[in-house]
Structure 1
Amino acid sequence: MSDLADQRGMETAVYQPAEDSKLLADVAVESVDGSDRVLDVGTGSGYVAGRIASATAASVVASDVNPHACRQARDNAREETIPLDVVRGDCTRPFDAETFDAVTFNPPYLPRDEAAERDDWMERALTGGETGREVIESFLDDVARVLTSDGVVFLLVSTLTDIEAVAGYAADRSLAAETAREESFPFERLAVLRITEEH
């Protein structure tokens, strides 16, 4: 297989930057300090992680369960000479406690559509189970463990997923969620939730 064909195959298996990626990156770049250690969960192509690393000089780790995404994120960072550590893993589970000052996540949030369902990496990047919240809830179950005492989470959510239900699930885990920014599109409203531990 040629390098070009291999690249095309990898791109069809990896979520590429879109409006949701840009919104999350914009909020994170404005909020992260250069001295912070940041984890970008579900990094996909590495767009959000790369924006944070290049714009803030923060130390950034990118993670994804998809091996094609990890490879593309590494390749993109190398091409743009962005210092970025890439780890293959499921959400925050591979990481030690109290490691990160900020965690970003653009999760799979579309509710399952059985008529359009495929069994591939792109399906896993887009679909968050029956409600669209299964991956988000799994993430919220563990994310506080990896945060420093004043750490913050920036989580991209959609009205398709029920933003209020996500905030309520976070509250049940002693996490306070507020909307940092939102944008409306023809079929959904996207919001970045700023989530912190309740003290």
Structure 2
Amino acid sequence: MCRTLTAFPTTCLERAKEFKTRLGIFLHKSEPGSDTGSVAKFEWGSKHSKERNFSEDVLGWRESFDLLLSSKNGVAAFHAFLKTEFSEENLEFWLACEEFKKIRSATKLASRAHRIFEEFICSEAPKEVNIDHETRELTRMNLQAATATCFDAAQGKTRTLMEKDSYPRFLKSPTYRDLAAQASAASASLSSCSSAEPSRT
């Protein structure tokens, strides 16, 4: 079990703080003033156990795209990377679809469906995603009787595009490679500090 922060040597705490700082720098590389309201914010726990868990979380992002998307911090990091490639609309659309599926009110469902379509799908939309004409028209037809699945085809195409194109570049980016190295080092340091701490009786 992880001990509290005060139980660890100063060198361990300094290493953890350095890791936290580097994570903050990475996640704030995106351009200021952009709308990221639908994107999960970076979360950093105050407890030592969360530092260990976050290190494991960072290293898990390279295991699969699903693990990345299931992590709030992974989504925030991936979004920051996509902004450097000017393709953040793909992830924002995917996230909007995930939230859309949770709506239970038929009235709200129809209203939100049209907003998503206008923002991401229609021609010359402010955050137009890269999908083929057939998928665009299928989605347009689905809006005539909006259901929780009306964006499934477009969302699937966008997800595949991110997984096959953007995700591999994210993993190969110097920033993520450095972040993963820091996570490995922090995890090893925390384990070392934990095992080196004198036992109490």
For the pair shown, which has the larger CA radius of gyration, 1 or 2?
2
Common fold: TM-score over 0.5? no
The structure showing larger relative contact order (alpha-carbon pairs under 8 Å, at least 6 residues apart) is 2
Give the TM-score normalised by structure 1. Answer: 0.22
- Give the structure with the higher percent strand: 1
